[in-house]
Amino acid sequence: MSTLVMGVLNVTPDSFSDGGRFTAAEAAIARGRELVAQGARIVDVGGESTRPGATPVPVEEEQRRVLPVIRALAAEGIETSIDTIHAETARAAVAAGARSINDVSGGTHDPAMLDVAARAASEHGARFIIGHWRGVPDPAHQRSDYADVVAEVRDALAERARAAIAAGVDRGLIVLDPGLGFDKTGEQCWRLLAHLDRLTELGYPVLVGASRKRMIAEALAGVGIEADPAARDLATSVVTALVAGSAWGVRVHDVAGSAQALAVAEAWQAAGAETRPAPETRPAPETRPAVDMGSAQDMADPPRTGISTADSMSTGGAGSEDRIVLTGLEVFAHHGVFDFERQNGQRFIIDAEVSVDLRAAASGDALERTVHYGELAEAIAAAVERDPVDLIETVAERVAGVALGFAGVRRATVTVHKPDAPIAAAFADVAVTVVRP
Ligand code: PMM
């Protein structure tokens, strides 16, 4: 999985003091562009600090700060998220063009948030980023009493994800965030990071927000380095390198530093992956009806459509490992380099193969010990539908990230077919395949 960078854009009156040459909004918009130029995929726009001890901002003022910035960046095709705990601000921000609601309270602060997130998901394909918190941040960390911080944060996030789904948020649009620094000591934050796999096992993408936080200062203080927030960027970038490939994204102030960290980590990981056997290429499916289960006969003759669980098929990528194979998943979406492709949309056909140990599920006949293929299909379809991009390579990478987010998945082989691609000559199919990690 390629980890993305989310750049922090705090729009508060004192964030952009330049002696009055620009308004706060103009300066924030310019900063948003700069973050993207440095490598941010998403610009996270916030108008109220959620740091412990910060003064609350009325929602009218919060919206006055963030909406013009989101509107202007969205008009330039820059993807934004809204960092807010207020449902009304989230609703207005999505209407202004924000593609994610980043709620550090995970929908617990404002009772209307889950409904707003559900509507934003169904009407705009907006993600819902669920942060872990135990209440309005408390500078004294009096609520940081965990017997097992990893298990408790994991369980609480899983519960919030279920609540969001019950309210109508599409499962494939949920992102979880451990809420580093929110009612957690530095040591607890490091524990959460060191056990990030326990969170990714839940099957959702995970966002990490360690940037400039006290946990970084504490680690540096351990070797005698006093670092005020702006001096914590190098150490933050090291965290980015350490979570690369596990986290879906990192929320950081210094985008350039994290982009470099990711480039290094990904070069490292890619070089390691090169020693694995290369996948065979598979012929393109000819017909692709709705998803169904592969039969025993299909196992002998690998299925062209459907979902199957097998340890004997040799369709490439996974060697002799157990795997679940989903083929011919048809999704209508708006990817492509041409304007008409963006406007009209077209069919994309997805084949996904996930390597997962199936023995425990089989011996206990236990669904919870395997990948629920219905949920996998749903999550993949949601990922393909949202956020139009130019390339099917990007779509394939995104789908692989979703598949790798499912508990127990060790490898994902994803093929994205574009059978109606605008190619002048007659052709049967065009497709790309990625194998991750
Ligand atoms: N931290 C802050 C604000 N928003 N959003 C997410 N998803 N995760 C975080 O960890 C997070 C956040 C507070 O940090 P800041 O004041 O440095 O922005």
Rounded to 5°, angle at Cα 234 from 151 and 135: 35
Residue nearest to atom 16 of ligand 1 (CA): 51
Q: Decide if pLDDT at 283 tops 60.
A: no
193 lines ligand 1 (CB under 6 A): no
pLDDT tens per residue across span 378-418: 999 989 998 899 999 999 999 998 888 888 888 999 999 99
Could you give the residue numbers annotated as active site?
Answer: 213, 251
Å from CA of 252 to ligand 1 middle:
9
CATH code for 4-268?
3.20.20.20
**String of DSSP letters for 377-421:** HHHHHHHHHSS--S-HHHHHHHHHHHHHTSTT--EEEEEEE-TT-
Q: Strand 431-436 relative to strand 411-417: parallel, antiparallel, unpaired?
A: antiparallel
pLDDT tens per residue across span 118-177: 999 999 999 999 999 998 877 666 788 899 999 999 999 999 999 999 999 999 999 999
Atom of ligand 1 nearest to the CA of 179: 10
Nearest in space to 182 (alpha carbons), one of 150, 122, 142:
142
Containing H/E element for 432? Answer: strand 431-436
CA–CA distance, 312 with 163 (Å, rounded to integer): 39
| pTM of the shown model | 0.67
Lowest-pLDDT range of 39-48, 184-193, 367-376: 367-376
The neighbour count for residue 115, using CB atoms within 10 Å, is 16
Q: Decide if pLDDT at 337 tops 60.
A: yes
The neighbour count for residue 299, using CB atoms within 10 Å, is 16
pLDDT at 22: 61
Percentage of the chain beyond pLDDT 70 is: 86
Rounded to 5°, angle at Cα 303 from 300 and 307: 115
Tokens 């949202």 locate to 386
Nearest in space to 6 (alpha carbons), one of 97, 92, 78:
78
83 lines ligand 1 (CB under 6 A): yes
CATH code for 306-436?
3.30.1130.10
Atom of ligand 1 nearest to the CA of 253: 17
So where are the chain's domains?
Answer: 4-268, 306-436
Residue nearest to atom 12 of ligand 1 (CA): 104
